[in-house]
Structures are given as structure tokens and as C-alpha cells.
Structure 1
């Protein structure tokens, strides 16, 4: 208000004079002075209020302390020769306009004084808080230094624990080697002990025989010495006759006992030979049982192979007939070498794009190349409007600028989106989060342009792994849990390989690679493990002790394409999910257009996957029926004719989510 009123002083003063009257020189000087002061007052600084008060003081001095109009007139009348007519007119104009402008200033003066007092009070508070601010800065620096010191200590402790871990692993390996050597030595000692035991048994039997022979010889020598002694002839003949008779009786009895023993035990073998023969017989019986079991298994395999052979013959005949029909009706294969001169980069780039791809994949590659050229020629995209079917990040009316980024730039932006998404809690929907990320990164003005540009790129390059997965999640064709599970699986596998690499050289043997795959994926079949090993660089002719660089399996090129090993993991995941849902459909025994109840879906999932825990089962049911987990009825409390849904919709909902088998279908009995 003050600036406006003061800036109009010269104009209002000129209206009092006719156009023919020249402006006085002193009036021009005063107008210039006032313009300069008003320009200074328009500056947006803290001293503006003080300057206004100064102008008010000047105006007040001009209005309140100036001579009255009568005094001016007296001066004009009393001293006409000292001032002149121009000065008198200028002073009169100043007095007249000062009286008009000072009214607003006088009315606003108390408010301005109050504001200046508050301003001065606040400035004093700020000056008093300056030492506290410096103290806070010093305290912040001390805390930062302490944090850095604690982090350095933690890094040192981590390095020491890693070294201790390596030493303990080496000690464990050494102990295992000692254990193996001790077991080998124990087995050798047991074998030696058995041999010594047999040797001692033989020695014992021989010793008994020798003792019997020695006793017999001793008895014969005693008899001979008794017969040759002179005192025998002096014995009584009757006594000798009686002794001879008794001896003959003993001989007859002994002969009878000997004959009885021979008759009873003539066919009896020694216990040692019996035990040995019994052991041999037992071993032969076990071998016979194992051979009989192997024979039965071979017979079963032979029967299955015969059936497979018959089915293969039928399939061969069917395929042969189909081949003849296709050869009769199909068109010739396209000559893909014609694309070498059309694709940017020439023959070398086309060979790189067409490597290990079939005709269908080559068509996709060619369409992407054509679409990329057309996309780069566009300078803008037409807006899709604000309809409800339009995604939230594409709701715009009018032309949208095409930012024309490279594939590498788009992939890097998508990786940054995933990185920020995984780093925070997933509260908002993914499309809203994606648009908010673009606003934070490129600003609200360019966010919609980048949204359209990125959407057109990921919709076109569906052979790119990063873009296709992001497009599926963004359009709701796949849940975020699928991407997160894939990344966690790859990270877990890389961690297992790093732990197995005790020397931290980045090298593993094929045997270690196979063991890690089997322990990480216990439900995969042997054929799937072999496919993963072949994707990692294993060949049937290679040795199990050959080393390879496992870190190269997890590397990506500049466009985000993973190695063939990670791609094979993803392909097996998709095949396993399709097989799992196919088993679920077979277990339900319904057609796709039929309705399935929640209780029947629960029983079918438990039948095909008995190891399914309660939380995972609730997650699958919630995804299939699109219900919150808290609203699902407890097991056993479902109504048989309760919540229903078309089987095709339920399977499509499960196909979008992270669904996989938790355990084997047939539970083996525990021993």
C-alpha cells in the first residue's frame, strides 16, 4: 500500500498543471529521489520494514513537523525574492501530497512497530541459539567419528571371524582325513584279527593232537619200561592173569565205545568247519536274494521298456505320418540370412542375435528390431486419456514426449526401481510406486513422459529378461513374489557356492557343483540337475575334478541378460509350476468351466503336496480365491457349499503367484 501510494505522487502532482506548463527542476529532482527510495523499498530483504519506518519518519517530518500552509504562505509573502516561484510550487505540491500519503502510514505505524519489536525479539533468540547450534554441530561430528570407529571395529572383527572360520574348516578337513585313515586302519586290523583267530584255532587243534600223541607215546614207554623191569617176573601169576583179564575187558569196552562213536559221529564235521560252511552258505543266500531282487527289477524294467518301445513305435508312426502331412502342406522354411543386410550391425550382429534360437524366437527378434527402429523415429506418444481401464501411470490426455533412451538406460532404471522397492515396505501398489519413483527421479514434469517411454520399451522388448518380468508385474500378470523368489533362489545358490569355495578363488569342481545343486534343490530330478550342470559348462566327457569359474554363472550383460544357467533355472521353475497346477487340476477332477469350493481346493492341495505348511496353504488359497488370509475359514470349519470360484479363474490366479512344491507327493514311511 505504501509503495503504490508513494509511486503515484509525481503523476498526481502533474495532473494539477496544464500540459503547456513545464515541470519545475526541483520537482524533477525530488521525483527521482523518491523513485530511488521506492526501488530500495521493493527489495525482499529483512531490512524492508525498517526502511519503511524510515520513510514514514521522513513523511511524518514532512507532514507533522513541516511549516503549516499559512507559514508557507507567509514565507512566500515575506521572502518572495529568496526562493522563487518554482521552489514555492514544488514545496506546495510536496506539502499537499505528504498530507495524503501520511494518513495510511500513520494508520499502519502501530502494526509495523509491533512487528519490528517481534522481529527484534526473534533475532535476539536466534543470536542466543547460535552457540547451541555450534555445539550440536560438534556433537554430530563426535557421533559420526564414534560410528566410523565402531564400523571399523566391526569390520576388523568380521575379518578375524572369517579367518577363524577358514582355520576351523581346514581343521575339520584335517580331522576328516584322520578319521578316514583311522577307519581304514581299523578295517585292516579287523581283517588281521580274523586271520590270526583262524590261525590260533588251527594251532589249538594241532596242539591237542600233539598232546594226544605225546600221551600215547608216554604210555607206550611206560608199558615197555614196566615189561623190561626185573621186578615184573616176580609178580604173582594169578594177579597178572586177573590184571590181563581186566585189561582185556577194558579193551573190549573201549572198542565197543569206539565203534559206537564211529557209528554215531562218523558223518559229523568239526565245529570250526561247520561254522565256516554256515557263514559261506549265509553269504551265498544273501547274494542269491539280491540277485533275485535284481532279476525281478530287471524284468519289470524290461516290461516297461517293452511298453515304452511299443508306445514309441506308435508315436514314431504317428510322427512319420504327421511329418509326411506337414511336408505335403507346409511352406518352405524362411531364409534367415536375408536379415543380415536389414538388421543394424550387419552379419556379425545378426549371428549374435540368432544364436541358438528357433524360427519362432527369430521372428520375435526380428519384430523387436523393427519395432525399435519405429520407436526411435517417434518424437511423441498419444495420451491414452483418463479412463478407468487405463493404468494409473499412463493417465494423461495429449501428446507425450518420447525420451528415446537406450535399452541399457531402460534396464538400469528398472533395476533401480526393483532395488528401491525391495529396500522398503511394500505398502502401495506397484504401478503407483513406479510412477512415484519416476516423479522422485525425473521430477513431476517429466514423470509422465518417462512412464510412457519405459512402458513402450518394455512392451516391445519381451525377449529381454528384465523388461519382460517388469512388464508382467506392472500389468498385474505376475505377482512381485515371483521375481523376489527368483532373486532369493539365485542369491542362496551363489552363497552356497561361495561357502564351498574355501580358498575364495572363484573356482569349484564339478563334483562340488553337483552336490550344491542337489542340496539346494532336493526335489529336482537327476535329469534336471544334469541340465543345470550342462548349462553351467559340464560335459559328459569332462572329469568330476575339473574346476570352473562359478562366478561367471551369475554375471549379466549390459542389457540385463543373465547367463544360460540362470535362464535354465527360470525355465525349470516355470515347467515345475505348470506341472504342479496340472496335478492340482487332475486331483480336483473338474473341467475348467466348473466351480470349485474352498474346502475342496484345500484338500486337493494337501493331497498333491502333503508337506505343505499351514501358512503357505493359506497363502495359496488367498491367492486363488482373492480373499484376505484373515477372512479364510479355519480347517474343518468350511461349509461344503461355501465360497465357490470357477476353476479356470482359480488356476489363473495361482499361475500369477509364486506357487511351487514344498515336499515330495508320496511320503516314505519312517524307519
Structure 2
């Protein structure tokens, strides 16, 4: 039975170069000696293993030749009555042979086990030796690293010493040069002293002529060398300027560059202004030519400006009253004043008014056949009567229409018999006097050209402004500073522009030369004359209200982006109103829509209903209806985001 071959331990002969740390230097002779030692140990172990593996071969059993010849010896002779059975003999022989080899088999197993134990022991020993070799290798590597570190440390020390040596060398050179300079200075001083001594005693020569000749020769050599160095310096640095001069020139250049940039910017601005002035000049020339042409056309076609002083003799009251009426009015307004004066005279001459009949176009309070008496009241009486009518209208619930209320008011005041006469009289007076605020506004409301809510809201606004000023007057003296007046105006009209606040202050008596501490009697701003004419402050409030309403409606038209003859639906008007005035509440918005589309508030559909699209009106009609109503901005318009 063959014994298993022992496995040879295979050592990975990894090169030491792979185990070297970075920067480590290994001695080649030391590595060669270590490798040879390991090879010798491995060859000895290999021989021992080969001998142990070959040992079981000596225990093979040797079978004697006599035993191999047993089947042939003593066999019966072959004959006719005898049959030989070779199978039984062979089996018996094999059994005998097996019994003879049993002890040898047991011995062979024992030897095999012994060999295996030896192999295991040798493997354990080899493993131990390998571990010891590895430890030795690691120790050697550490030793190499340590030596390398020592070498690096020594190299750094050498570098430091070299640096110190160089510094010492430079110091010694400097000291040598200093010594030479000092010696030269000492020699110079000695020469000067000798020269001085020779000058004091010119007849005495204290030096040897040979020595003086040598000194002169050395001085000439030094002079020649110095001259050569000077020439070299001039050749190398003749075109070099000192750093101080260079820095000064650089600073001057920088200042000049900044001045040049500034002058260029100024030049660009002046050039642009010049171009703008040229364009302005050209446009001014065109305007001048256009105005000159218009002037010639006007001079050719128009009539001369009337001499309004001629009216002084015609108007009742003479020159003083005419000057009072004409103060601050333009030609168009003066024509109205003159027509009112003439019309008033004609009205006073009339004793009766012809009745207008009962037609559909006739207002209810004027429907009458025949003639009615002219009551011939004064202008003051008419104004007072209209004020009383407004007071009664504001206090009642306003259920009936304004024309019906007006006629009922006259019946209550003058009785049913004179009510029609007073109705015709007041109608003619209010139609004539356009310059009177009370009469013109009453006539507009009476004829349906303006909603009465406009007048009522304006009066409420004036009352609120007066209340703000009264609250600001803590002393109850009827006086306010200009700053308090401005604060009260901004509080009452938070959405007015600063320019319009300025206009109101100027109408109230403020001037650019006035200071904020100047006092103003604010009660005077709300007074009226005997004919109901307001002061300029209240008139300016009314003018600004009308201007702001026109601007508001113009924004609405631009938002709708339609022509006046185009039709517009209710949803579009609703959306446009919310776009130009996002602060509108639902009630005010519905009120504006009701007035624009001439629908009662109860019949106005809610937003999103289908029948909204069916409500259509011409844009011009809608704007006219809103112009008649009290329409004003409720809040600032949102600014569009910058693109």
C-alpha cells in the first residue's frame, strides 16, 4: 500500500521591494545573505521529507519461491480416472497468502501513521519557523525605517549646518569688507594728518619717497578700477530711473488718467445734452412755425378780443359789481356771466310763462296747459329755497323720485295753487344761472343729468373734512397750521396725489413762501356768500372730484379696450372694475354695475351665473350712466410687476 506523498510547503518568494516602505533604502548584501540562509534551510527540510516518504518501501513482503510453487508440487498424476480442480487450490493458496501478509499489513499501517505524525510535526515546525522569519523580517524593516529616519534627520541637520555656514560666511565677508573699509578710512585719516603736517611744515618730508611712489601707484590702480566700475554702472544703468521718480511719475499718470476719464464722461454728457438741445431746438422751431401759421390764420379769420369793460355800464350795479363778477374768469365764463345778467333782466320783465303741456318728454312738475305766473324771486331767494329742498330731501327716506319730491315740496311750501308757478319760476332760474353751484347742480339732478347721490356724497365729504380740521384744532380757536391742514387733507383723501393736495392748500391760502407754522382760519374755507357761491377751496374740491371721475372712467375704457359704439357684457365690466380698483367691496361694485346697466340691485345677477353674459349694453351708454353717478376710487391700483 503506497503512502500518501507529503505536500511540500510552498513559500511565496515575494520580493522585498514590495514590502519596502516609501523612502526606505535596503542594503543588497544583507538581503542576499538572508536569502542564502533560507535556501539552505529549505533544502535540508526537503531531503528529510523525501527520506521519510521512501521508508515504507523497505517493508514490502517477500514471498518465498517455494510458496509460489505450491500448486504444482505433490499434484496427483494425470490419469484417466482422476480430475484436477485448479480453482479450489488457488483459493486456498490465496487465503494462505493473505494470512501470511496480515502482520505485514498491520505493520504497514503503523508505519504510515508514524510517517503522518512526522509530517505534521515537520509542518508545524515549518509554520513556526515561517512566523519567526516574518517577525524577523518585520523587525528588519523597522530597523531599516529607523535607519532611514536617522539618515533624513542627519540630512536635515547637514542642511541646517550648511545654511548656518553660509550665513557665517556672509557675516565674515561683511566683516572683512567692513575691516577693509575701516582700514581704508584709517589710512585716509592718516594721510590727511600727514598732509596737514606737511602743509604746516613744507620744508620737512616725513615719508620715504619709495613708499610714496608705491602709494601713488596703488592709488592710481584704485582710481582706474573705480573708473571702470563707474563706466560699467553707467553703461548698465544709464537709462534706469530711481524708484522714487518712477512712483511719482506713475502716480501722476494715474491722476491724469482719472482726469481724462472724468473729462470723457463730462464730454459724453455735454454731447448728449447738446444733441438733446439740438432736437429741442428743432422741435421748438417747428412749433414756432406752426404757432406762427396758426397766429396768422387766427388773425385772418378770428374776431378781435372783446372789450369787457364796456359791460360795466350795462350790468346792474355798475363798474364795481362787474369787476366782482368778472374776477378770475376767462372769456367763456364772462360770456356766461353776461348771458345770466341779460337773462335775469328778461326774466324780471316776464309776468307769465307759457305752459309746456302734458307730453311724455315734459318733466312731471312742468306738465301744465295755459300760462303760469312768474313769481320773480331774487337770486338769493331761489338759492335759499333750493337749500331747504336739499335739507328736506336728505332727511327723508328718498323713496319717491326727485322730480316728484320737488313738486311735493313746493306744494307743502306754497300750497297746491302756487306750486306750479314756483316750479316754472325755479326751473327757468336754475336753467339760466350756470355759474351758481347750487342752481347748476340742482338743475342737473332735476333733469336727470346727474344722480342726487353725487351732491349728497359731496356734502358728506365736505362735512367729514371740516370734522377732521375741527379735531386737529385742539385749542378750538378756528386756526390750523399749514402742516395740520395738509395732514387733515391727506387723512380725508388718502388716494389723492400730492400735486392735488398742493392745489387744495394753495386754494386754501398756502403759498410757496409760507412756512408750516403759519396759521390759517379753516372756517373761512367752507363759507358761502348770500347767493350760495362757495369759496375757491370748495370749488377746487368739486373740480378735482370731477377730474378724478373722468380719469377713473378713462381707465375703465382703456381696460375694456373697446370703442364707444361697441357693446360690452356685464362680466367684462365687473372684471375691468376689479382690475383698475382692486379695493372695491361687493356692495359698491354691484352699485356701479347697477348704475351702468340701469338695473335694480335686486335684479343684478351674481358673479358666475349664466345669465350674466346675456346682459349687454353699449360702452358709451354705460360710461354716461357712470358719469351721472357717484363713482370714485376706493383704493390704489396695484402696480404691475417689473418685467
1:500 maps to 472
- Structure 2 matches for 1:109-508, cutoff 5 A? 313=284, 318-508=290-480
Contact 1:599 1:638 in 2 (8 A): no
Instruction: Give the Å deviation of 1:550.
Output: 0.4
Query: Could you tell me how far apart the structure 2 residues matched to 1:658 and 1:345 are?
Result: 39
User: SS state of the match for residue 617, structure 2?
Assistant: strand
Query: Could you tell me how far apart the structure 2 residues matched to 1:634 and 1:571 are?
Result: 35
Residues 526-571 of structure 1 deviation map (CA, whole Å, 9 limit, x = unaligned) = 1111110110001111111100100000000000001100000000
Contact 1:623 1:653 in 2 (8 A): yes
- Within the candidate set 579, 585, 604, 2:576 is matched to 604
2:495 maps to 523
More helix by share: 1
Query: Could you tell me how far apart the structure 2 residues matched to 1:586 and 1:610 are?
Result: 16
Instruction: Give the Å deviation of 1:324.
Output: 4.0
Contact 1:535 1:564 in 2 (8 A): yes
Contact 1:383 1:396 in 2 (8 A): yes
Query: Could you tell me how far apart the structure 2 residues matched to 1:365 and 1:417 are?
Result: 25
Residues 182-238 of structure 1 deviation map (CA, whole Å, 9 limit, x = unaligned) = xxxxxxxxxxxxxxxxxxxxxxxxxxxxxxxxxxxxxxxxxxxxxxxxxxxxxxxxx
Query: Could you tell me how far apart the structure 2 residues matched to 1:565 and 1:312 are?
Result: 38
User: SS state of the match for residue 577, structure 2?
Assistant: helix
Query: Could you tell me how far apart the structure 2 residues matched to 1:308 and 1:413 are?
Result: 60
Contact 1:371 1:460 in 2 (8 A): yes
Query: 1:541 and 1:309, CA in 2 relative to 1: closer, same or farther beyond 3 A?
Result: farther
Instruction: Give the Å deviation of 1:308.
Output: 11
User: SS state of the match for residue 480, structure 2?
Assistant: strand
Query: Could you tell me how far apart the structure 2 residues matched to 1:486 and 1:334 are?
Result: 37
Query: Could you tell me how far apart the structure 1 residues matched to 2:287 and 2:591 are?
Result: 41
Query: 1:579 and 1:377, CA in 2 relative to 1: closer, same or farther beyond 3 A?
Result: same
Contact 2:549 2:631 in 1 (8 A): yes
Contact 2:605 2:612 in 1 (8 A): no
Instruction: Give the Å deviation of 1:523.
Output: 1.3
Query: 1:335 and 1:606, CA in 2 relative to 1: closer, same or farther beyond 3 A?
Result: same
2:536 aligned with 1:564: yes
Contact 1:394 1:452 in 2 (8 A): yes
Contact 1:598 1:621 in 2 (8 A): yes
Larger Rg: 2
TM (norm. structure 1) is: 0.53
Structure 1 portions without partners, runs of 5+: 1-251, 257-297
2:69 maps to none
2:590 maps to 618
Instruction: Give the Å deviation of 1:323.
Output: 3.5
Query: Could you tell me how far apart the structure 2 residues matched to 1:616 and 1:309 are?
Result: 48
Segment of structure 1 superposing worse, 598-607 or 500-509: 598-607
Query: Could you tell me how far apart the structure 2 residues matched to 1:640 and 1:633 are?
Result: 6
Query: Could you tell me how far apart the structure 1 residues matched to 2:504 and 2:439 are?
Result: 24
Query: 1:538 and 1:639, CA in 2 relative to 1: closer, same or farther beyond 3 A?
Result: same
Residues 404-430 of structure 1 deviation map (CA, whole Å, 9 limit, x = unaligned) = 000010001100000000011010000
Query: Could you tell me how far apart the structure 1 residues matched to 2:299 and 2:402 are?
Result: 49
Instruction: Give the Å deviation of 1:667.
Output: 4.6
Instruction: Give the Å deviation of 1:668.
Output: 8.3
- Within the candidate set 565, 586, 606, 1:634 is matched to 606
Instruction: Give the Å deviation of 1:628.
Output: 1.1
User: SS state of the match for residue 571, structure 2?
Assistant: helix
Instruction: Give the Å deviation of 1:630.
Output: 1.7
2:565 maps to 593
Query: Could you tell me how far apart the structure 2 residues matched to 1:315 and 1:360 are?
Result: 26
Instruction: Give the Å deviation of 1:471.
Output: 0.3
Query: Could you tell me how far apart the structure 1 residues matched to 2:297 and 2:303 are?
Result: 12
Query: Could you tell me how far apart the structure 2 residues matched to 1:315 and 1:661 are?
Result: 38
Query: Could you tell me how far apart the structure 1 residues matched to 2:357 and 2:327 are?
Result: 41
Query: Could you tell me how far apart the structure 1 residues matched to 2:447 and 2:456 are?
Result: 17
Segment of structure 1 superposing worse, 364-373 or 603-612: 603-612
User: SS state of the match for residue 476, structure 2?
Assistant: coil
Contact 1:599 1:639 in 2 (8 A): no
Query: 1:311 and 1:625, CA in 2 relative to 1: closer, same or farther beyond 3 A?
Result: farther
Query: Could you tell me how far apart the structure 1 residues matched to 2:296 and 2:610 are?
Result: 55
Alignment RMSD: 3.0
Instruction: Give the Å deviation of 1:642.
Output: 1.5
User: SS state of the match for residue 454, structure 2?
Assistant: helix
Instruction: Give the Å deviation of 1:328.
Output: 3.5
Query: Could you tell me how far apart the structure 2 residues matched to 1:591 and 1:332 are?
Result: 39
Contact 1:507 1:548 in 2 (8 A): yes
2:522 aligned with 1:550: yes
Query: 1:357 and 1:495, CA in 2 relative to 1: closer, same or farther beyond 3 A?
Result: same
Instruction: Give the Å deviation of 1:316.
Output: 6.2
Query: Could you tell me how far apart the structure 1 residues matched to 2:536 and 2:341 are?
Result: 22
Query: Could you tell me how far apart the structure 2 residues matched to 1:307 and 1:521 are?
Result: 43
User: SS state of the match for residue 596, structure 1?
Assistant: strand
Contact 1:624 1:651 in 2 (8 A): yes
Query: Could you tell me how far apart the structure 2 residues matched to 1:315 and 1:596 are?
Result: 41
Contact 2:573 2:593 in 1 (8 A): yes
Query: Could you tell me how far apart the structure 2 residues matched to 1:307 and 1:489 are?
Result: 50
